[in-house]
Copies of this chain bind each other. A is one copy, B any other.
């Protein structure tokens, strides 16, 4: 069994190799191999491919045992380009850093440590100490998590330990877990007036595009904070900017944006609106999941799946079982 690592995945061959129980030949391929058949002669039916992208317009990709996507999203994979017998697996682990980012955002919103540090010097100390301005707490506040999948649950688990009240909105209820209630998405408008922190953790679909629009922002508390770590378009761009500029809501922590650079020299602004100029908007560059530990965990997980494959055991995180293709 050879392991072909395409594009960025090849950077992590060392992590993968370190977690393999038996040695396999690891072959790095350039990112072009995701679209081009130039290297297909190297690839055999007993091999495995690791790639975030795979799409063929001419001949399909050669049959392999497994395509392991080294991320959660499957938008880079054309299922029709793969042989029906090729299994497809993906990998998560980003729920951990995203949940840490969300809790950090809520805590800093209440504590304002940045402001504490800014005003505190050896010279100001006696006055700052005597005139300390009290800050806030997340304890007892109501958190509404829109989308109660892995990410929503990881956020809720942590928030629960702080004594927050957790409302989860999801069409698929599943077990209650750390939530106080799981409610169907249609309940959103009814809940909004109770919510202190509204976290968007659902996928972007037709149903969730513009889910948070003018009516929802008006229904929110004037102190409420929107946190978006999913996809920008779930909150309507113009309505969100207006709500923040006019302080209809308390603020927003935004890690995802309305426009992304496409190539290596593309110049594009993150939004048509100057969110950065608003003092109640905390803007970060789609970094919530981007940790040093994420590839470590992801490639260790992939290696464990390859160990299972070698031992003939069932794979984890199967997106498409062998024989279930080619239709998505």
Contacts and interface: CB of A to CB of B under 8 A. Distances in A.
Interface of A: 96-97, 99-101, 103-105, 107-108, 110-111, 113-114, 116-117, 119-123, 125-126, 128-130, 132, 134-140, 157-158, 160-163, 257, 260-261, 264, 266-271, 274, 276, 282-287, 290-294
Give me the 9 closest cross-chain CB pairs, A-B, nearest first.
A161-B161, A104-B107, A126-B261, A122-B269, A120-B285, A116-B284, A134-B292, A128-B285, A158-B161
Given A116-B287, A140-B293, 11 more contacts: A96-B139, A97-B139, A110-B291, A113-B282, A113-B284, A116-B285, A120-B283, A126-B267, A128-B285, A134-B291, A135-B291
A31 to B, nearest CB: 14
A203 B267 CA distance: 55
B274 A122 contact: yes
Contacts of A161: 157-158, 160-161
B132 A287 contact: yes
B292 A261 contact: no
A100 B137 contact: yes
B282 A125 contact: no
Contacts of A135: 97, 287, 290-292
Contact of A122 (B97, B136, B270, B293): B270
B113 A290 contact: no
A161 B161 CA distance: 6
Given A136-B291, A292-B135, A117 B282 contact: yes
A224 to B, nearest CB: 17
Among A96, A100, A110, A266, the most chain B Cβ lie within 10 Å of the Cβ of A100
Contacts of A268: 125-126
Contact of A101 (B100, B111, B140, B292): B111
B117 A284 contact: yes
Contacts of A284: 113, 116-117, 120
A137 B291 contact: yes
Given A129-B260, A139-B293, A103 B114 contact: no
Contact of A276 (B105, B121, B292): B121
A125 B258 CA distance: 12
26 contacts: A96-B139, A97-B137, A101-B111, A101-B113, A103-B162, A104-B104, A104-B107, A108-B108, A108-B113, A122-B269, A122-B271, A125-B261, A125-B270, A126-B261, A126-B268, A129-B285, A134-B291, A136-B291, A137-B292, A137-B293, A140-B293, A157-B161, A158-B158, A158-B161, A158-B162, A160-B161
Given A135-B292, A158-B161, A104 B100 contact: no
Nearest to A119: B285
A283 B270 CA distance: 33
Nearest to A271: B122
A210 to B, nearest CB: 22
Contacts of A160: 161
A136 B117 CA distance: 22
Among A122, A290, A293, the most chain B Cβ lie within 10 Å of the Cβ of A122
